[in-house]
Structure 1
Amino acid sequence: MTEVNETALNELVGRVLGDLGGAVSVPLVRIGDALGLYRTLKEIGPVKADELADASGCAPRYVREWLAAQAASGYVHHERGLFSLTPEQAFVFAEPDSPVNLIGAFDTAAAMVENQPKVQSAFKTGRGVAWGDQAGCMFCAVARLFRPGYVNALVQDWLPALDGVADRLKTGAKVADVGCGHGLSTILMAQAFPNSRFVGYDFHPGSIAAASAHAQAHGLTNLHFEVGRAQDFDGRDFDLITCFDCLHDMGDPKAAAAHIRKALKEGGV
C-alpha cells in the first residue's frame, strides 16, 4: 500500500464524511417538506415525536427516526424529549417566502442525481445535456430555488437600483423577461407594475406552460408567455429586458446578449 500522510488523509476523510452527511440529508429534507413535517412542527412545537406524527398523519416510528436524524444534523431543535424549530430553522425549512428558504436547493440536488446517466454519457460523447432534456423536474426545482431571492429583492432592491427604471415601470413600459423559466420573476414584476406589459420567453415548452398556468392562477392580464430562444425571440422595442440566473447557462450567451440588445428600443435598459 502506498504510504500516505495520516493528517492529510484524516482531513480528507472528514470532508468526505461531511459531504456524505449532506447527501443523505437530501431525501430526508424532501420527505419532511412533502409531508408537511416542517410546517406542522413550526405550528405546534415543541412536541413529542408521536404528537408530530399524529398531527401530520404519519407513522410514529418513521417520524421518530426522521426527527432524530434532523436533530443530529442541526435542522430541528431537541430539548428534554421535545422537538421544535428555532426561528432560524423555520426560516430555512418552513417559511416559503423567507429569503433563505433552501428547500429548492435540496430539490435541485435530487434532480442532479437523477440526471447522472445523461451527464455521464456526455463525458464520453463531449456533447452537452440540453436544459430541456434534464431528468426529473429540474425546472420546478430551480424555480423554487430562486423564488426566495425574487420575492425578497427583485421589486424591492434590484429594479430600483437601475436609474429611472422603477419610475418608467410605474408609468407603463414594455418588458421582456428572457429565460423566464416558470415565470416567477415575470409574475412578480407584473404584479408590482400593473401599468406595464410583460412577456416572458423561454425555449422550454414545459416551463412556458407552467408559467402561463401560474399567471392565470394569479388573474394577471398584463403579461403573457411565449416559447422562444434567447438568441432569436420575436419581440422588439422593449423598454426593459431582464435575464435572471440564466444567461450563463445558455448555449450561446454572446448571441443571446447581442439579440437582446437589438430588441431594446433606443434608451432601453
Structure 2
Amino acid sequence: MAANVTDTFEEFTSHLNNIVSGGYMTMAIGLGVDTGLFDVMCNMDRPKTSEEIADLAGLKERYVREWLGAMVMGRIVDFNGDQETYHIPEHRIPALKPKSGQNVMTLYAKGVPMLSSVYKDLAECFKKDGPGGMAYSKYSDFHGFMAGLSSRWFDNYLIQHFVPGIPTLKEKLDSGIQVLDVGCGEGGASHLFAQNYPNSQIYGLDFQQHCITKATEIAANKGLENIHFVCQEASGMDPIWDSKFDYVFMHEILHDSAYPDKLLDETYRVMKSDGILSVIDTGAHSKLEDNLNLSPTIGISYVCSMMNCVPVSLNFEGGMGLGAVWGKERAVEMLSDHGFDCEVSKTPGTKFGHFLCKKAK
C-alpha cells in the first residue's frame, strides 16, 4: 500500500494547520495536568470564574485566565460570556482525568515539553558529523513521565487482567516463584507483583541508580519484604542467576535497549527451562506501509521513537537503535533467533503487543 495520499493544496494546508496548532495546544494540556487545573475543574460542582478556579488550584489568576483562554479555543473547556464562568462538560471529564484508566492522552501531553527539552541536541544528532545519540540524563524527568504512563496500565490491568490471561501464571505466583522485572524503572510493576503475590520473590532490575533508589524506598514504605531491586545492565545480569527465574517481565524495554540481542541471550540464561517470558512491546508492523491504517495515534510512537528511543540506544557504541515502531514481525524474528518460541496477542488495555515466550525445545 502506497504512503502517498491525494489531496488539494487547501486540504493539505488545513491538515498542516491542525497538526501545528495541536502541538501548541498540547503544551497547555500538559500544564493543566501538572498544575492540577484539570483535577480542580473536573471536580467543580458548578461553572466558576477564573478567580475562583485559581483560588481552588492555589495558582495566580492571570496565568490561569490565559490557560483557560487556550482551553476554550481548544474546545476543551466551555465558557459563558455573560457570567464569565468556565466549566468542563460532564461527558468530557473521563477523558481528562489521567488516573481514571479511560484515557492516557492527557498524560502523553506532558511528554511534549519533556521531549522538547532535547530539541536542539537531537538536531545535532541528525547531522552526519554530529553525535551518535543522547544519554538518558539529557531528558528532564523522563522516568517520571514513563512511570506516570505505565502506572495507569499497571494499576488497572496488570493484576486484574494481564496475569490471569497467562495460563497457570497466577497459580504459580500464588504458590511462590522467582520473578524478574527487567527495566523496572521506579518499580511500578514490581511493587504490585510483590503486594499481590507475597509467596513469590520479586527482583527488579534497572541500570538507572536513581530509579532503583526510589523503587527501594517505595517498597520499604509499603513494608514489602519479598522484593529486591538491583542496579545493573540487563545485557550483563548477575552470573549467579543461571536458570533462576520462573517468570520474566519486560514492559516497553526491549526496543529501547542498545543491545537487545545480548539482553535476550541473558534472559534466556537466567530463565528456568520451563520458565515464561512476557515481552510487552510494539503492536505496530515492521513495514511502514502496513501501519497507515492503524490508529492515528501511531504517529505519536514514531515521534517519541525519533525523540527518545532511537537516540538513547544509539548513544551506546554499537547500539542497534530499534526504535519504538520496529514492528511485531521483526520482534518475533529476533525472539526466535535467540531461542524463544512465542505467541503474539494484544496486551489488554493498550495497543501494545504481548509476546508470550518459552524456551524453544
TM-score, structure 1 as length reference: 0.88
Task: Give the structure with the higher percent strand.
Answer: 2
Shift of residue 217 of structure 1? Answer: 3.0
Q: What secondary structure, in the 3-state scheme, does the structure 2 residue paired with 1:265 have? A: strand
Aligned to 1:128: 133
* Gaps in structure 2 of 5+ consecutive residues: 1-6, 277-361
Aligned to 1:20: 20
Q: Give me the whole-angstrom Cα distance separating, in 2, the residues matched to 1:97 and 1:228.
A: 34
Residues 267, 84 of structure 1: alpha-carbon distance in 2 compared, 3 angstrom cutoff: same
Q: In the alignment, residue 104 of structure 2 is paired with which amino acid? A: N
Aligned to 1:244: 251
Residues 217, 93 of structure 1: alpha-carbon distance in 2 compared, 3 angstrom cutoff: farther
Q: Give me the whole-angstrom Cα distance separating, in 2, the residues matched to 1:121 and 1:109.
A: 19
- 8 Å contact 2:194–2:224 — kept in the other structure? yes
TM-score, structure 2 as length reference: 0.67
Shift of residue 23 of structure 1? Answer: 1.7
Q: Give me the whole-angstrom Cα distance separating, in 1, the residues matched to 2:235 and 2:152.
A: 28
Residues 68, 16 of structure 1: alpha-carbon distance in 2 compared, 3 angstrom cutoff: same
Shift of residue 224 of structure 1? Answer: 2.1
Is 2:295 the counterpart of 1:259?
no
Q: What secondary structure, in the 3-state scheme, does the structure 2 residue paired with 1:231 have? A: helix
Q: Give me the whole-angstrom Cα distance separating, in 1, the residues matched to 2:224 and 2:78.
A: 41
- Relative to structure 2, which stretch is displaced further, 209-218 or 106-115? 209-218
Aligned to 2:39: 39
Is 2:227 the counterpart of 1:223?
yes
Aligned to 1:96: 99
Aligned to 1:4: none
Aligned to 1:3: none
Shift of residue 126 of structure 1? Answer: 5.7
Aligned to 2:60: 59
Paired residues, number: 262
Q: What secondary structure, in the 3-state scheme, does the structure 2 residue paired with 1:247 have? A: coil
* Gaps in structure 1 of 5+ consecutive residues: 1-6
Aligned to 1:187: 191
Aligned to 2:178: 174
Q: What secondary structure, in the 3-state scheme, does the structure 1 residue paired with 2:86 have? A: strand
* Sequence identity (%): 25
Q: What secondary structure, in the 3-state scheme, does the structure 1 residue paired with 2:202 have? A: strand
Q: Give me the whole-angstrom Cα distance separating, in 2, the residues matched to 1:209 and 1:103.
A: 28
Shift of residue 88 of structure 1? Answer: 4.7
Q: What secondary structure, in the 3-state scheme, does the structure 1 residue paired with 2:210 have? A: helix
Q: What secondary structure, in the 3-state scheme, does the structure 2 residue paired with 1:266 have? A: strand
Residues 65, 176 of structure 1: alpha-carbon distance in 2 compared, 3 angstrom cutoff: same
Residues 224, 33 of structure 1: alpha-carbon distance in 2 compared, 3 angstrom cutoff: same
Residues 259, 55 of structure 1: alpha-carbon distance in 2 compared, 3 angstrom cutoff: same
Aligned to 1:119: 122
Q: What secondary structure, in the 3-state scheme, does the structure 2 residue paired with 1:74 have? A: coil
Deviation per residue, 1:191-233 (Å, 9 max, x gap): 2212211111111222222222222332322212111112111
- Relative to structure 2, which stretch is displaced further, 43-52 or 155-164? 43-52
Deviation per residue, 1:72-127 (Å, 9 max, x gap): 22323445754333445332333524242333312222221111222222222361
Task: Give the structure with the higher percent helix.
Answer: 1
Of 144, 150, 156, which aligns to 1:152? 156
Q: Give me the whole-angstrom Cα distance separating, in 2, the residues matched to 1:65 and 1:75.
A: 14
Shift of residue 65 of structure 1? Answer: 2.5
Residues 86, 230 of structure 1: alpha-carbon distance in 2 compared, 3 angstrom cutoff: farther
Deviation per residue, 1:13-38 (Å, 9 max, x gap): 22222222222123322322232211
Q: What secondary structure, in the 3-state scheme, does the structure 2 residue paired with 1:176 have? A: strand
